[in-house]
Structure 1
Amino acid sequence: MSIFHYLKYFLFHVIGLCALAALAAGGTAIPIGFVVVVATYVIGDALGGDDTSTPRIRYPGILTFQLWLALPLLATIVFASVWSVCQADVLGFGAWITRLTGVDVLAARQTTTPLQHAAGILLTGLMIGMIGTIPGHELTHRTWDKISMLIGRWLLAFSFDTVFSIEHVYGHHRYVSTVEDPATAPRGRNVYFHIVISTIRGNVSAWKIEQKRLRREGRGAVSPFNAVIRGHLMSVLLVATAWMAGGAVAAGYFVLCALAGKALLEIVNYMEHYGIVRDPATPVQPRHSWNTNRRFSSWTMFNLTRHSHHHAQGEVPYQDLKPFPDAPMMISGYLTTIVVAMIPPLWHRLMTPKVMAWDRDHATPAERKLAAAANARSGMAAFEQQGARHGV
């Protein structure tokens, strides 16, 4: 069974290849591909149960290489997606696919409708979030490994979010579940508002962190040494590449895909920490993040699901993260929870009882005071009082 624990993470790449095939095929294959990917996660997590195993990995380098493979995979997916809105057959991609498969993808591209291209933006944004941000997140935590950091930042550049490698590692992990953290959504916040406010505050935070670092080194903030500036230039280079491939239409299309990928990250931030409070004097513990051990999400997302352990020990590689079954649990696996988060009335209906249970089962006395204040601000105080009357 030992080889299985390496092979299972290749499900990540299989999902990416399926999305690539749908984008290259064009037409109805694009929305079908999007629906199939989402449905596969929702059904897979519903039927697959939980994975609470933590196998011993003898060759961790193989698992690191699997992360590195995300960059050529994502670049190919995004290329195919941008190619789908170009007039020219860039790099002869369509002719090559036609010769290889016998499917006339050039003809299919000509008949692809605007609605199908919109589905392409959603599918590509989903892949940028999954194939880009998830490995990028893991790799940019490895600050001691220059290759992993470089690959990770390029993966994040596809969602205009290289600042994630700064703010997340040096800001979010320090301030998680406090009011200082841009990524932690307070109780009652709407997910769509969170996407905007977390993006703005995250960029501001990253700039301040980098500014302090450069000041310690005796360098100016506006200089080639500023990782925020360099990172945004990486994203600009990707936009310019799309422009060269297909002009303004291709560049605009890529920008929409990138923004969709960035929005997905902020939705994930929203659901990973929503409503949890932490006494700033208390070290970050597994109870300060929502967790899930759903098998399919775990295997296809490099154990991103084991978020509670990740926040307790951010330097631990993904394959060594423990499931912490007693940690506060999400609604389900990641895609299912994302879908619920995007329907605010359903989200609040399902999550408010979970947040109240967190106050009861996980909060310290000091955190219960913070929670009571958060409930008063968010309008959840009435629910809190109702639960108290019923002994919940």
Structure 2
Amino acid sequence: MKLLHYLKYFLFHLIGLLALAALLAGGSWISAGFAFIVTLYIAGDALSGDDISTPQLAWGGLLTFQLWLALPLLAAVVFASVWSVCDADLLGVGAWLGALTGYDLLAARAATTLPHHVSGVLLTGLMIGLIGTITGHELTHRTWDPISLLVGRWLLAFSFDTVFAIEHVYGHHRYVSTEQDPATAPRGRNVYWHVLVSTVRGNLSAWEIEARRLQRQGHSVWSPYNAVIRGHLMSVALVALAWLAGGPLVAGYFVLCGLWGKALLEVVNYMEHYGMVRDPATPVQPRHSWNTNRRLSSWTMFNLTRHSHHHAQGEVPYQDLKPYPDAPMMVGGYLTTIVVAMIPPLWHRLMTPKVLAWDRQYASADERLLAARANRASGMAAFQQQGAGDGI
């Protein structure tokens, strides 16, 4: 049984390989691959229940190494996606795989229509989020490990978000669930507005954090020591490679994939802390994050789902995070909750009662005062009064 607990964290590699195969197969296979992966997550989480196991796994090095393997896997997926919109057969991949499998990849690519290329953007951006951002999140928390930091930053470069390694670790974890945190969505905010606001404020916060670090070390912000500048140059290098592969249209295609991956991160930020309030003078507690223990999400996202423990102890490796079944719970697994969040009327219909229940069940006395102010500002106070009148 212990072997299963190691193998389950390799499932994300299978998801990535499935996406890789769909992108290379071209045509309707791309759309089918995207639909299958989304359905797999939503149905899998709904049918497989929760995972609240907390085994002690001794081979931590193996679990770190498989995180590092995310970089070549994501590079292969993005290469296949870029190849799917190129005129040239980059590195002769199509001819080689065609001879190996008997399937004419080049003909399938030539017959791929615009709707399936749109699916390619959606699928690639989803993989940038699942394989790149989630793994990069875990690795860039390991500030004591230079290899993990380097791999993590390159994974984040695919979504133009290497600043996440700065703002998230040194900003978000300090200010989570307060007004100072760019990633925490206040009550009533629309998810699409949050994607924009959190992106802008997150980049500004990362610059300020890095500027203070450089000042302490006696370096100018306009120097090679600036990790924000270096990180953005990593993303520019990836865009340049896409340009070299197929010109400006292919580079634009890659940019769309990366921006979609970045948007998914901000949607996740939105749903992980939506409506939470905390006095900055008080320590972060498990109650300040929305949690979920859905099995498939937990296994393929390195227990990011156990977000309550992660924010209570950010340095704990993913395999050691505890499920905290008494923490505030999301509406479902991660991809399910992402879909709900992207439909604002449905999101507010489901989350407003949960947020108001959080006020009653989890908030401290000081937090109830902050929550009451937030409810008045967002219009949720009227819903609260209506619910009280209806006996809710």
**Paired residues for 1:245-284 under 5 Å:** 245-284=245-284
Unpaired runs of 5+ residues, structure 2, are none
**Paired residues for 1:202-213 under 5 Å:** 202-213=202-213
Q: Does 1:55 align with 2:76?
A: no
Q: Does 1:124 align with 2:124?
A: yes
Which 4+ runs in 1 deviate beyond 4 A? none
Query: Please, what TM-score do these two structures have when normalized by structure 1?
Result: 0.99
**CA separation in 2, counterparts of 1:99 and 1:319?**
41
Q: Residue 298 of structure 1 aligns with which residue? A: 298
Deviation of 1:387 (Å): 2.8
Report how many aligned residue pairs link the two structures: 392
Deviation of 1:385 (Å): 1.4
Q: Alpha-carbon deviations, 1:137-184, whole Å to 9, x = none?
A: 000000000000000000000000000000000000000000000000
Q: Residue 348 of structure 2 aligns with which residue? A: 348
Deviation of 1:234 (Å): 0.1
SS of corresponding position for 2:247: helix
Q: Residue 178 of structure 1 aligns with which residue? A: 178
**Paired residues for 1:297-316 under 5 Å:** 297-316=297-316
Q: Which amino acid in structure 2 is aligned with residue 356 of structure 1?
A: L
Deviation of 1:100 (Å): 2.1
Percent identity over the alignment is 76
Q: Does 1:80 align with 2:80?
A: yes
**CA separation in 2, counterparts of 1:5 and 1:155?**
24
Q: Does 1:91 align with 2:91?
A: yes
Q: Which amino acid in structure 2 is aligned with residue 308 of structure 1?
A: S
Q: Alpha-carbon deviations, 1:37-91, whole Å to 9, x = none?
A: 0000000000000000000101111100110010000000000000001000011
Deviation of 1:304 (Å): 0.7
Q: Residue 230 of structure 2 aligns with which residue? A: 230
Deviation of 1:350 (Å): 0.3
**CA separation in 1, counterparts of 2:388 and 2:316?**
39
Deviation of 1:391 (Å): 5.2
Unpaired runs of 5+ residues, structure 1, are none
SS of corresponding position for 1:88: coil
**CA separation in 2, counterparts of 1:96 and 1:283?**
57
Q: Residue 164 of structure 2 aligns with which residue? A: 164
Deviation of 1:347 (Å): 0.3
Q: Which amino acid in structure 1 is aligned with residue 250 of structure 2?
A: A
Root-mean-square deviation (Å): 0.7
Deviation of 1:390 (Å): 4.7
**CA separation in 2, counterparts of 1:97 and 1:203?**
41
Q: Residue 383 of structure 2 aligns with which residue? A: 383
Q: Residue 359 of structure 1 aligns with which residue? A: 359
Q: Which amino acid in structure 1 is aligned with residue 302 of structure 2?
A: F
**CA separation in 1, counterparts of 2:122 and 2:390?**
43
Deviation of 1:10 (Å): 1.1
Q: Which amino acid in structure 1 is aligned with residue 139 of structure 2?
A: L
Q: Residue 30 of structure 1 aligns with which residue? A: 30
**CA separation in 2, counterparts of 1:391 and 1:148?**
52
